[in-house]
Amino acid sequence: MNGYNFAYLDEQTKRMIRRAILKAVAIPGHQVPFASREMPLPYGWGTGGIQVTASILGREDVLKVIDQGADDTTNAVSIRRFFAATAGVQTTTRTADASVIQTRHRIPEAPLTEQQILVYQVPQPEPLYRLEPSRAETTRMHALAEYGAMHVKLYEDIARLGQVAISYDYPVMVNGRYLTSPSPIPAFDNPKLHRMPALQLFGAGREKRIYAIPPYTDVRSLDFEDHPFRPHRADAACALCGSRQSYLDEVVTDNRGGRMFVCSDTDHCASRRAAGCEGVAA
Amino acid sequence: MPDMMLRTEGLTKGFTLHLQGGLRLAVLAGIDLAVRAGECVALTGPSGAGKTTLLRSLYGTCRADGGRILIRHRGTLLDLAAADPRAIVAVRTETLGYVSQFLRVVPRVAAREIVAEAAIARGQAPAAARAAAEALLLRLAIPARLHDLPPATFSGGEQQRVNLARGFVAGHPILLLDEPTAALDAANRATVLTLISEAKARGAAIVTILHDAAALAAAADRAFPMTALQDAA
Amino acid sequence: MSDPTLLSARGLRLSFGAIPALAGVDLDLWPGEVLAVVGESGSGKTTLLNVLSGRVRPDAGVVWYRDPDGALHDVHAMEAPLLRRLHRSDWGFVHQDPRQSLRMGVSAGGNVGERLMAAGARHYGRIRASALDWLAEVEIDPARIDDLPRIFSGGMLQRLQVARTLATHPRLVFMDEPTGGLDVSVQARLLDLIRRLVARHGLAVVLVTHDLAVARLLAQRIVVMRRGLAVETGLTDQVLEDPQHPYTQLLVSSVLQA
């Protein structure tokens, strides 16, 4: 790690980001602008999450990085190596052993604790951006808590399709005040946001926004009284560990239409198999 | 006098025609007219004598330049010439009925509704008002098959009879009728004269313009002759 | 009259550079009353509507609004959230171009429902039932509830805007040339519809129009605007049949028999 400051970013930048994080924690769900830095990887590869992680990382921390639940995909491996090289911190793939978990598009299956921080990589922090193109107007809508337009989107889905057709990045109300994007996690994960013991930090590098959900904050997925929010999961068991509770990825296995469902959370699946659980393909 | 329904005192009205270099036409000067309950007064005189202007002033359409127009409204005499617009609207809804010479057609509103509206505005239940409207339209020889149609496509005579039904249906204590028998055939003219005498019988005060001498003799208790003023430049 | 006004303006002034759009206008509106503001283009009538509705701040003068509980509010001193809430609940605004207020990519039902949802409705079934009622009320076939407005005709769009505006049962509606740009036959239908809805729901309306026939059909009272001044005001038949001011006489004599 010669030639770099600890965790790559200089201390002034970390301080600036920490101030943004403190403000974000103080106003749960509110997007706080910050001076996002150029990082040694392109936008869309987790520059926001990396800057947040770099700013909160200490020498004693144990870091886990997942991409869609997996520790062994390119994005997860690169970021893990990046911090191993620039901060020299210990890394792990085991959820329970990590003190900081940076994630792209999933929340681990294992419940998190007060001792852990979950850092999300966020491509688009503004939940209203598809409905209202003007940033100035969405800022005003947040300030006045005018979220009727978001319910119109849900209404349209039910009217056309009989149900809300948002399967990921399903908008939530944080602490009964701010409409917030949970990042593109599957709607299946939304219930885990609610009153989570771990601190949740969200970093959007390209959009230069940071927001937070402090421990034990109320998080409600938007819905109607007569069409309550229902998390969706493929109706199958993991082919490797047999789980019927975890979130599943569909994997195509050959060119003849063969496919199988496996846990998207690789650590969860591995620990179940280590404990003797088996699926049909095991 | 408790049965005095309508009285003007020194009513004066003129028109300033700004588009003709401010030409000033004096039409009414010092008109004193009094009408009691159950009385029908006919305004008579040549064209240009100001009969229609007087009738329109009594309704508040023409704004008086001087004098008072006292109307018995909710038990007291109210000066229409000094009343604000909302008071005039209330007087028209409850007290003053007006039949103009031509029906102002409202698109897409059925004849029955046009007539019933006046009674509903005066507080009648909608169903009763519609029934009364239908009965009156039939008396004025508007057949039932036309009641559902908007009068825009009716003949001039039919429109005028719808207009009369609208004027008589609500039972206003004061009625202002501008040539109610013009353009009517003998049978309908007789019906209108009956309607006038029925209104008188229930105590209505009526001011009307009648050119037809026979009708005047039959309906009016007395005439109020008017003459054209010299144009004051 | 002693009964309280719904909206009162005193001494409204507003200049755009050297041009006075409002040069001292007073106005009162009572509950359930339709007031037409007439005048030619540039007379200040649309500016007056924008100032009355709190959308544009005057240089001087005050606009008072009485809420359903009887409390008076200075419209231009209200906090922005309150004013916006007012515009979504007790007030409505019908624009000449319905595309200004409708969401063209959202179904007819969603457009009507948005006002209800913005006011806090969270029951899909009831929102939809209300949207169906309102579509029927403005004579749009309820079977078209899930159609996008972009395939609607101009008259249907305007009726949809009216339905959306009235969905929260406002007491006061501002209308800016609601029949402008429509074919004559379509205009007649819309006018008749507005006339009936106003009567049935007891709406108070400030109606801006350059069309005296529209004013005659809908309004009890008329204000004639010219060069930022209300040059004449009175009952509709008074202003149209016994116009006093030279400009009103010109205006009345300039139209074909209405």
Q: Are A238 and A246 in contact (CB under 8 A)?
A: yes
Give me chain A's average pLDDT, please.
Answer: 94
DSSP secondary structure code for residue B55 in this structure: H
Q: Do C192 and B107 touch (CB under 8 A)?
A: yes
Q: Which residues of chain A does C145 touch, with a Cβ-Cβ cutoff of 8 Å?
A: 159
- Is there a catalytic annotation at residue A277? no
Instruction: State the Cα–Cα distance between residues B52 and B74, nearest whole angstrom.
Output: 26
pLDDT band at A282 (very low <50, low <70, confident <90, very high): low
Q: What is the reported pLDDT for C2?
A: 60
What share of chain C has pLDDT > 90, as a percent?
Answer: 79
Q: Do A225 and C123 touch (CB under 8 A)?
A: yes
Q: Let me know if B203 is exposed, middle or buried by CB neighbors in 10 A (0-12, 13-18, 19+).
A: middle
Q: Is the pLDDT of residue C257 over 60?
A: no
- Is there a catalytic annotation at residue A269? yes
Which residue in B has a C-alpha nearest to residue C233's C-alpha?
B85
**Neighbors of chain A by Cβ distance (3+ pairs < 8 Å):** C
Which of B173, B174, B176 lies closest to B56, judged by CA? B176
- The identity of residue B96, as a single letter, is L
Q: Is the ipTM of this complex over 0.85?
A: yes
The nearest CA of chain B is from the CA of C112 a distance in Å of 25
Q: Is A88 helix (H, G, I), strand (E, B) or coil?
A: coil
The mean pLDDT of A268-280, rounded to a whole number, is: 93
DSSP secondary structure code for residue A227 in this structure: B
The nearest CA of chain C is from the CA of A150 a distance in Å of 9
pLDDT digits (tens, 9 = 90+) for A244-255: 999 999 999 889
Q: Are A49 and A119 in contact (CB under 8 A)?
A: yes
pLDDT digits (tens, 9 = 90+) for A202-233: 999 999 999 999 999 999 999 999 999 998 88
Show the beta-strand stretches assigned E in chain A. Answer: 32-33, 62-67, 90-91, 100-104, 117-121, 172-174, 178-180, 199-204, 209-213, 219-221, 248-252, 259-263
The mean pLDDT of A14-37, rounded to a whole number, is: 98
| Six-digit token string for B127 | 């169903």
DSSP secondary structure code for residue B140 in this structure: T
Q: What is the reported pLDDT for B103?
A: 82
- Is there a catalytic annotation at residue A88? no
Q: What is the reported pLDDT for A1?
A: 52
Residues in chain B where the model's pLDDT stays below 50: 232-233
Give me chain C's average pLDDT, please.
Answer: 93
pLDDT band at C42 (very low <50, low <70, confident <90, very high): confident
> Do C and B share at least 3 CB pairs under 8 Å?
yes
Q: Is A50 helix (H, G, I), strand (E, B) or coil?
A: helix
> Among A46, A48, A49, A238, which one carries the catalytic annotation?
A238
- Is there a catalytic annotation at residue A238? yes
User: In chain A, which residues touch C (CB < 8 A)?
Assistant: 144, 146, 148-149, 151-152, 155-156, 158-160, 224-227
CA B142 to each of CA B107, B130, B154, B171, B181: distance values in angstroms, whole numbers, following the listed order = 19, 14, 10, 20, 16
Q: What is the reported pLDDT for B230?
A: 61
Instruction: State the Cα–Cα distance between residues B91 and B72, nearest whole angstrom.
Output: 9
Q: What is the reported pLDDT for C1?
A: 46
Q: Is the pLDDT of residue A116 over 90?
A: yes
Q: What is the reported pLDDT for A2?
A: 64
Q: What is the reported pLDDT for B2?
A: 62
pLDDT digits (tens, 9 = 90+) for B97-132: 999 988 877 778 899 999 999 999 999 999 999 999
> Which residue among A148, A224, A227 sits closest to C114, beta carbon to beta carbon?
A148
**Neighbors of chain C by Cβ distance (3+ pairs < 8 Å):** A, B
Q: What is the reported pLDDT for A44?
A: 85
Q: Which residues of chain A does C114 touch, with a Cβ-Cβ cutoff of 8 Å?
A: 148-149, 151-152
Top residue of C79, C106, C132, C135 to mutate, by most chain A CBs within 10 Å, is: C106
Q: What is the reported pLDDT for C86?
A: 93
> Which residue among A148, A159, A225 sits closest to C146, beta carbon to beta carbon?
A159
Cα dihedral sign for B185, B191, B197, B202? negative
Top residue of C249, C250, C252, C257 to mutate, by most chain B CBs within 10 Å, is: C249
Which residue in B has a C-alpha nearest to residue C220's C-alpha?
B89
Q: Is the pLDDT of residue C118 over 70?
A: yes
Q: Let me know if B139 is exposed, middle or buried by CB neighbors in 10 A (0-12, 13-18, 19+).
A: middle
Q: Which residues of chain C does B85 touch, with a Cβ-Cβ cutoff of 8 Å?
A: 220-221, 234-235, 238
pLDDT digits (tens, 9 = 90+) for C142-171: 999 999 999 999 999 999 999 999 999 999
Which residue in C has a C-alpha nearest to residue B22's C-alpha?
C246
